[in-house]
Amino acid sequence: MNQFPEAGQVIVEDGFLKHYMEIVAHCALPYQWQMLNGELGENPTMRNFRIATGDEQGAFGGVPYQDTDLAKWLDAVGCALGNERNPELEALADAAIDTIVRAQDADGYLDTYYQLVCPDRKWTDPESHELYCFGHMIEAGVSYSEGTGKRALLEAACRLADHVGRVFGPAEGKLHGYRGHEIIEMALVRLAAHTGEACYLRLAEWFVHARHDTPEAFYRGERKEGNPLDYGSWGWGDPERETSSYEHVTGHAVRAMYLYSGMADVARLMGDEKLLAHCTALFTGLTRRQMYITGGIGATSVLEAFTYPYDLPNDTLYAETCASVGLCFFAQRMALAERDSCYADAVERCIFNLLPAAVAQDGEHYFYVNPLQVNAEACLKSPLKTHVKPERQPWFDCACCPPNLARFFASLPRYLYAYSAKGVTVHQYAPSAARFQMDGGSMTVRQSTGYPFDGVVQIAVEQEVSFRQELALRIPDWCESWALCDVWGDPMNVRPEKGYLNVEIYGSCAFTLTLDMTPRLMQANRRVREDAGLAALQRGPVVYCVEQADNGELLENLSVKARSPIRIEMRNDVKGFGPYPAMRLRGETDATEPRTELYFPCAQRRDTEITAVPYCLWGERTVGEMLVWLRRT
C-alpha cells in the first residue's frame, strides 16, 4: 500500500517550494505566535487557554472555534520542526502545549469556548464547532509528536479522541451525529496511524458513514430542497439522490474538502471500494467542473459555498485559501489510493498558484479570498465584492487561513513523494532528497531542478540493496511534450500509464526528465461562461496574470493575439523572491481616448504590449488591478 512520507524522510533542499517553507518557518510562524499571543494587538486565542487554566482572569474572546487558530499553529510548528530544528520556536510551542494540557478537563474535554462560556451546554448543539476544535488539536498532537518526538500534546490528543469515542458512536445513549465543521474524521485517521490504535480509525469510519446513513442525526430535520448546505458536502451524498449527488460537490467548500479527505482515508485504509468510487466521482466532478485554473474552489461567498458545475465567476468568487489547502488534503489521500496523476496535478495547481499567492514574501500578510480579477474600487463599493481584498491582510477576524496555510507549507515535503514496498512515486518536482526504507532495502531519490520555472529535472536514484524496484514519475497534465533520457542522453522507452512513467530500477542510476515549458494560451471549457472567449497564460504549472503595475489601469480592455509569440523575460523586482520569468506578448487594447459618452460605435483597437507575471506574485509590487483571464483576439 502506498504511504505518505513521514517526518524527515523527505528534505526539500532549494527552490520555489523551499522558499515558501522558509517564509513559513522563519517569518510566518514567529509572526503568528505574536498575533495569537496578543502581542500585535488584541487577539484572545492564547489568553482563552490561560483563562481556562486559571493562570489569567478574564472572559472568553473571539469566535467559538478560536482554539483552532492555536491548534493549527502548533500543527505547523510540529511539521516545521520535523523539517529543521528551531529551539526558539520549540520553546514557545512547548510552553503553549503546557498551558493547553493544563486547560484540558479531566475527562479529556478541551474547547475553551464551551469551558468558559457555557460549560453546561457541551455536546448539546449539533451546529457547534466542538468536534472541529477537537480534530484540529488532535492533528496538532500528531504533528508535534512526529516533528519533535515529544508526547505531551499527543497524549492530550488521545484523551480528546477517547472522549469523542465515549460521546459519539452507534451505541444507544451515545450521540449519533453532529453537524459542525468536519475534520475529526481525518484527525482520527492520523492519530490511528501514528499511535497504531485501530479504534481511532474505526471511530473515523463510523463518523464518515453516519453522515450518509443517518443524516437526520446531523441535520435535525431542517434540510430543505435547494439549500446549498443541504447535502453533498455535509453529508457525503444524499441517500435519496444516490445517482446525482456525486456528480458535483455542493455546500461549504472547506467543509466539503475536509469530509472528503476523511472519506478518502477511510476508503483506502478499510478497503471500501464503494466509498472510494464515490470519492473518485466527487474529485472528478470537482476538478473538471468546479475548480479555478489557479487551484481555487468555492464559487460564491454566500455560505462560502460551491454553486453549480462550470459556474466560475472570477470576481465575486470565494476561492478561500483554506479550501485549496483542503483540496490538497483530499487529492493527496486520493493519490495514495489510486495511481492516477489527476490527483497530484490538482496539488501542483494549488502549490504553484493559489497557495503561494495567499502569503506575502514577508510571511505577515495573507489572502483569505483569492480572486482572478480584482480592482480596488469594486472591492470597496460593489456589494457583491466587499469580501474580496486587493491586497494581502495582516490578519482576519476569522483567521482560519493564515495558520492553515502555515501548516500546509510546513508539511509540504509529504506531498512530493509517496512510497510502497514496490518503489517510490515522484508526485511533485522540486530540488529535494527522499530516503525510504522498503522491503529489500532502502531507496534514495534526489531531484535537481529549477522547477516550476525550468522544465529540466535531473533524478538520481541510489539503492542500498540491489533489488528490482519501481520509480514512478508524473507527467503533468499541462505537459504536451516531454523526454526521459538516461545518463548518456539517450531517450528511454517508457510510456506513461495514468499519467506516470514507471521506470524499473535495478541499482543506482540517474535520469533526466525534460518537460516542455513553452508558454501557452489556455482556454476554459466552453461551458464556463465567465471565461468564454478568454485566454489565460500558463507556462509549465505556473498560471500568469496581468497587473496594473505593468499594463496600466482597466485591464479588461486588453486582449491577447492568439498567434503572438510569447517571450520570456527574467525579472527581479519582487522583494524577497528572487528572479522569475515574466511573459511579454503583443496584444490589443481599446483605442478610444477618455470620452464622456457611455455608448458609441465600436472604435478600432490599437496594438499594445502585454506583460504577465506569475499569479502567485500578484499584488507583491504595488496594489492595483489584476486579471487572469484576458480577452482573446
Provide the binding-site residues for its own copies, judged by CB under 8 A: 228, 287-289, 291, 293, 300, 302-303, 305, 307-308, 311, 313, 316, 375, 377-378, 381-384, 480, 520-530, 532-533, 535-536, 554, 556-557, 559, 562, 590, 592, 594-603, 631-633
Gap between the Cα atoms of 340 and 345, Å rounded: 9
Residue tagged active-site, from 400, 401, 545, 616: 400
Query: Closer to its own copies at the Cβ: 423 or 614?
Result: 614
Q: Would you call 377 exposed, middle or buried from its count of C-beta atoms within 10 A (0-12, 13-18, 19+)?
A: exposed
Query: Closer to its own copies at the Cβ: 18 or 387?
Result: 387
Contact (CB, 8 A) for 316 and 383 = no
The sign one gets for the Cα dihedral 404, 177, 134, 397 is: positive
CB atoms within 10 A of CB 120: 6
Over 397-441, what HEC string results?
CCCCHHHHHHHHHHCCHHHHEEECCCEEEECCCCCEEEEEEECCE
Q: Which residues pair with 505 in a beta bridge?
A: 469
Q: Would you call 589 exposed, middle or buried from its count of C-beta atoms within 10 A (0-12, 13-18, 19+)?
A: buried
Rounded to a whole number of angstroms, the minimum distance from the CB of residue 229 to its own copies is 11
Main-chain phi, psi angles of 6, to 5 degrees? -100, 175
Gap between the Cα atoms of 513 and 506, Å rounded: 19
Query: Closer to its own copies at the Cβ: 238 or 590?
Result: 590
H or E stretch at 630:
strand 630-632
- Helices (H), ranges, 232-320: 253-270, 273-289
Q: Which residues pair with 191 in a beta bridge?
A: none
Contact (CB, 8 A) for 573 and 621 = yes
Q: What is the DSSP letter of 543?
A: E
**Measuring CA to CA, which residue among 253, 198, 52 is closest to residue 137?**
52
Amino acid identity for residue 546 in this structure = V
Gap between the Cα atoms of 582 and 566, Å rounded: 10
602 an active-site residue? no
- Helices (H), ranges, 413-498: 413-416
CB atoms within 10 A of CB 278: 21
Over 348-366, what HEC string results?
HHHHHHHHHHCECCCCCCE
- Helices (H), ranges, 149-252: 152-167, 184-195, 198-213, 215-219
Amino acid identity for residue 267 in this structure = A
**Core vs surface per residue 121-134: b (16+ CB within 10 A) or e:** ebbeeeebbbbbbb
**Core vs surface per residue 161-186: b (16+ CB within 10 A) or e:** bbbbbebbbeeeeeebbbbbbbbbbb
Gap between the Cα atoms of 349 and 3, Å rounded: 22
Gap between the Cα atoms of 618 and 613, Å rounded: 7
Q: Which residues pair with 76 in a beta bridge?
A: none
400 an active-site residue? yes
Rounded to a whole number of angstroms, the minimum distance from the CB of residue 477 to its own copies is 8
Query: Closer to its own copies at the Cβ: 34 or 633?
Result: 633
Rounded to 10 deg, the angle between the 67-83 and 29-36 helix axes is 150
User: In residues, how long is the chain?
Assistant: 633
User: Which amino acids are annotated catalytic?
Assistant: 304, 400
